[in-house]
């Protein structure tokens, strides 16, 4: 493996299995999972460089598993929008893109077929994908590396759970010059002989969406397109229109003040490097660019650190000790009213602003960031225990948000409900104790609630939902 020795000192690379390569390797495999793009992808770059160092062709394997935890038809439709373009970009770099849907999605079986010298994967700190990477490391018979390609600063630099943005920010700042640079675009030097080239399954998104055994609890959206081209259009629109006022408008749900990039980042159709560099280059005031990069880099990578280092990230027990103490002390306080999960999902509460936010999420697959905080906190008033509030928040967020099932979601819910990355907010209040409160009257001072509610009605009508 001498040809590969120089790679493993790269902090972005984690050697999960340090094995001997097979006796007669035929290729290198990149197991594309989280970073669903053929450009601006550090994991793909490592796989191409390694294949070139070994003088082998590269096969990029994309196995479509229909029961990805908590994913439903809405998420799969967005994901499938991005596959043809990822395939084109991978092929343009000289590698073979091999799409294998269920029931032929197994990486191990694919590796038996193509006899790789090395398997390269990407990273995902969530529990289930991490367990799949562990399984691959146990069961593959060749070296297996993963590349931390969806963060700017590799998460290995932060080996403990960070307490707050203020503890992570200075560490990130020190490392940013080293990691926030344009990525290269290497090309494969060797290609498969025609007879050796692994076969890709035919791709028909509509057919896959109807025939795969998917969870159908949230339907695909009609007006939102996934994929890299759609993501880049969204990025361009943002940098030329809303970015200059981002620092002032991002907490105004009544205005189109934020980027709407989270789903493209969640599915890895865009990478954080290209977004950060585009914003750095954009013509916008320094405060605006700085405020955006704080969210994209510090807050987003704080969320990755939280999920990677706190195994209870999707349960209330992940909360800060002071927050769990205060919530326990108020566990028996009478709640404003208990709603069933069904009533909450239908947005049938007494709170007009909350109902509009819930409708926005169900009908359009996104909720404005400011309202996500309010939305999650209100669940403490309407569910029997903080554990129930947390569980319902995770269920609804992950089911309906296009960007759901993401470290940002768990960190956001933990912040809102159990004090993660926050501090106590005296005076002590019923139910919340010292958890930071947010109220509808506070929201009304910040933005035009009537305009927001009306805009959700219009957006839901365009999507064809009942309002
Ligand atoms: P912009 O304001 O344009 O921000 C740019 C990017 O920075 C975002 O796309 C996102 O990747 C990142 N970012 C922004 N705000 C945060 C934040 N607070 N924490 C971490 N990263 C951030 N984000 C998700 O991606 N998926 C979720 O499921 C999710 N659920 C949330 C639930 C709750 C209760 C809360 C409080 C927040 C949640 N967030 C979630 C974080 C944040 O609200 C969204 O990332 C943001 O609203 C997405 O809209 P945007 O792309 O227009 O953001």
Rounded Cα–Cα distance for residues 18 and 138 (Å): 11
Residue 296 Cα to ligand 1 midpoint, Å, equals: 8
Query: 373 with 438: CB under 8 angstroms?
Result: yes
pTM: 0.98
Query: Vertex 347, ends 345 and 348: CA angle to 5°?
Result: 110
Under 8 Å CB-to-CB from 195, ≥6 apart: which residues?
none
Rounded Cα–Cα distance for residues 447 and 368 (Å): 12
Residue 257 Cα to ligand 1 midpoint, Å, equals: 13
Nearest CA to ligand 1 atom 7: 296
Which sign does the torsion angle of CA 171, 175, 181, 184 carry? negative
Residue 413 Cβ < 6 Å to ligand 1: yes
What are the beta bridge partners of residue 17? 144
Rounded Cα–Cα distance for residues 242 and 265 (Å): 18
Residue 299 Cβ < 6 Å to ligand 1: yes
Query: 125 with 156: CB under 8 angstroms?
Result: no
User: φ, ψ for residue 372 (rounded to 5)?
Assistant: -60, -35
Give the strands of the sheet with 116-122, arranged side by side: 13-17, 144-147, 116-122, 27-31, 58-64, 96-101
Residue 377 Cβ < 6 Å to ligand 1: no
Helix (H, G, I), strand (E, B) or coil at 231: helix
Residue 369 Cα to ligand 1 midpoint, Å, equals: 6
Chain centre distance of CA 175: 22
Residue 372 Cα to ligand 1 midpoint, Å, equals: 9
Q: Which atom of ligand 1 is nearest to the CA of 413?
A: 34
Residue 75 Cβ < 6 Å to ligand 1: no
Query: 166 with 143: CB under 8 angstroms?
Result: no
Residue 270 Cα to ligand 1 midpoint, Å, equals: 15
Flag whether pLDDT at 372 surpasses 90.
yes
What's the pLDDT tens digit per position in 425-451? 999 999 999 999 999 999 999 999 999
Residue 433 Cβ < 6 Å to ligand 1: no
Residue 291 Cα to ligand 1 midpoint, Å, equals: 13
Rounded Cα–Cα distance for residues 87 and 218 (Å): 27
Reference 55, options 99, 18, 21; nearest CA is 21
Q: Kindly report whether the peptide bond that precedes residue 103 is cis, defined as omega within 30 degrees of 0.
A: yes
Q: What percent of the chain has pLDDT over 70?
A: 99
Flag whether pLDDT at 141 surpasses 70.
yes
Pick from 3-7, 162-166, 210-214: least confident: 3-7
Residue 403 Cβ < 6 Å to ligand 1: yes
Residue 349 Cα to ligand 1 midpoint, Å, equals: 24
Residue 372 Cβ < 6 Å to ligand 1: yes
Here the tokens at position 47 are: 């796989």
Residue 370 Cα to ligand 1 midpoint, Å, equals: 9
Reference 431, options 389, 370, 369, 375; nearest CA is 389
- Give residue 465's pLDDT: 66
Q: Which atom of ligand 1 is nearest to the CA of 262?
A: 9
What's the pLDDT tens digit per position in 18-45? 987 777 999 999 999 999 999 999 999 9
What's the pLDDT tens digit per position in 179-202? 999 999 999 999 999 999 999 999
Nearest CA to ligand 1 atom 33: 412
Rounded Cα–Cα distance for residues 145 and 13 (Å): 6
Flag whether pLDDT at 300 surpasses 80.
yes
Rounded Cα–Cα distance for residues 256 and 308 (Å): 32
- Give residue 190's pLDDT: 98
- What is the arithmetic mean of pLDDT over 367-372? 98
Q: Which atom of ligand 1 is nearest to the CA of 401?
A: 28
Rounded Cα–Cα distance for residues 386 and 337 (Å): 14
Lookup result for tokens 């692994």: 198
Helix (H, G, I), strand (E, B) or coil at 330: coil
- Give residue 23's pLDDT: 78
- What is the arithmetic mean of pLDDT over 444-460? 96
Nearest CA to ligand 1 atom 20: 300
What's the pLDDT tens digit per position in 316-363? 999 999 999 999 999 999 999 999 999 999 999 999 999 999 999 999
Rounded Cα–Cα distance for residues 47 and 403 (Å): 27
- Number of continuous H segments (helices) and E segments (strands) in the chain: 20, 6
DSSP string, 8-38: GG-TTEEEEE--PPPSS--EEEEE-SS---S
Residue 262 Cβ < 6 Å to ligand 1: yes
pLDDT band at 467 (very low <50, low <70, confident <90, very high): very low
Pick from 16-20, 235-239, 387-391: least confident: 16-20
Give the mean pLDDT of the chain. 96
Here the tokens at position 74 are: 């809405």
Residue 94 Cβ < 6 Å to ligand 1: no
What's the pLDDT tens digit per position in 36-81? 999 999 999 999 999 999 999 999 999 999 998 899 999 999 999 9
Residue 408 Cα to ligand 1 midpoint, Å, equals: 6
Rounded Cα–Cα distance for residues 153 and 276 (Å): 12
Lookup result for tokens 């594309």: 32
- Give residue 305's pLDDT: 98
């Amino acid at each position: 493996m001498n040809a590969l020795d120089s790679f493993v000192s790269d902090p972005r690379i984690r050697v999960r299995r340090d094995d001997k390569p097979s006796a007669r390797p035929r290729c290198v495999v990149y197991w594309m999972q989280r970073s669903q793009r053929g450009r601006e992808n550090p994991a793909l770059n490592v796989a191409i460089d390694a294949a070139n160092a070994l003088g082998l062709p590269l096969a990029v394997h994309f196995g479509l598993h229909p029961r990805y935890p908590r994913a439903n038809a809405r998420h799969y439709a967005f994901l499938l929008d991005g596959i043809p373009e990822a395939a084109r970009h991978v092929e343009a770099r000289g590698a073979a893109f091999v799409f294998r849907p269920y029931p032929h999605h197994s990486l191990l079986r694919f590796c038996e077929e193509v006899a790789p010298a090395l398997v390269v994967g990407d990273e995902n700190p969530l529990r289930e994908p991490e367990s799949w990477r562990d399984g691959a490391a146990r069961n593959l018979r060749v070296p297996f590396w993963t590349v931390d390609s969806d963060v700017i600063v590799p998460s290995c630099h932060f080996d403990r759970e960070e307490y707050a943005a203020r503890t992570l920010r200075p560490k990130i700042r020190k490392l940013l010059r080293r990691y926030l640079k344009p990525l290269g675009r290497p090309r494969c030097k060797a290609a498969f002989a025609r007879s050796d080239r692994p076969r890709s399954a035919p791709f028909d998104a509509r057919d896959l969406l109807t025939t795969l055994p998917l969870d159908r609890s949230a339907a695909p959206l009609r007006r939102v397109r996934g994929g890299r081209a759609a993501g880049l259009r969204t990025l361009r629109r943002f940098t030329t229109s809303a970015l200059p006022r981002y620092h002032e408008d991002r907490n105004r749900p009544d205005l189109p003040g934020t980027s709407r990039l989270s789903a493209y980042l969640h599915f890895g159709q865009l990478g954080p490097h290209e977004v950060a560099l585009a914003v750095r280059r954009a013509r916008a005031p320094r405060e605006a660019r700085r405020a955006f990069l704080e969210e994209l880099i510090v807050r987003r990578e704080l969320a990755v650190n939280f999920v990677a280092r706190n195994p209870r990230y999707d349960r209330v027990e992940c909360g800060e000790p002071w927050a769990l103490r205060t919530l326990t002390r108020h566990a028996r306080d009478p709640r404003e009213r208990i709603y069933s999960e069904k009533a909450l999902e239908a947005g049938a509460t007494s709170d007009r602003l909350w109902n509009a936010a819930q409708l926005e999420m169900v009908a359009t697959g996104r909720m404005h960031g400011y309202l996500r905080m309010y939305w999650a906190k209100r669940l403490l008033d309407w569910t029997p225990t903080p554990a129930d509030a947390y569980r319902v928040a995770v269920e609804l967020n992950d089911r309906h948000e296009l960007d759901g099932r993401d470290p940002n979601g768990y960190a956001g819910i933990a912040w809102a409900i159990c004090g993660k990355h926050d501090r106590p907010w005296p005076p002590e209040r019923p139910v919340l104790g010292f958890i930071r409160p947010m109220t509808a009257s506070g929201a009304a001072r910040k933005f035009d609630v009537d305009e927001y509610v009306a805009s959700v009605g219009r957006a839901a009508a365009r999507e064809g939902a009942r309002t």
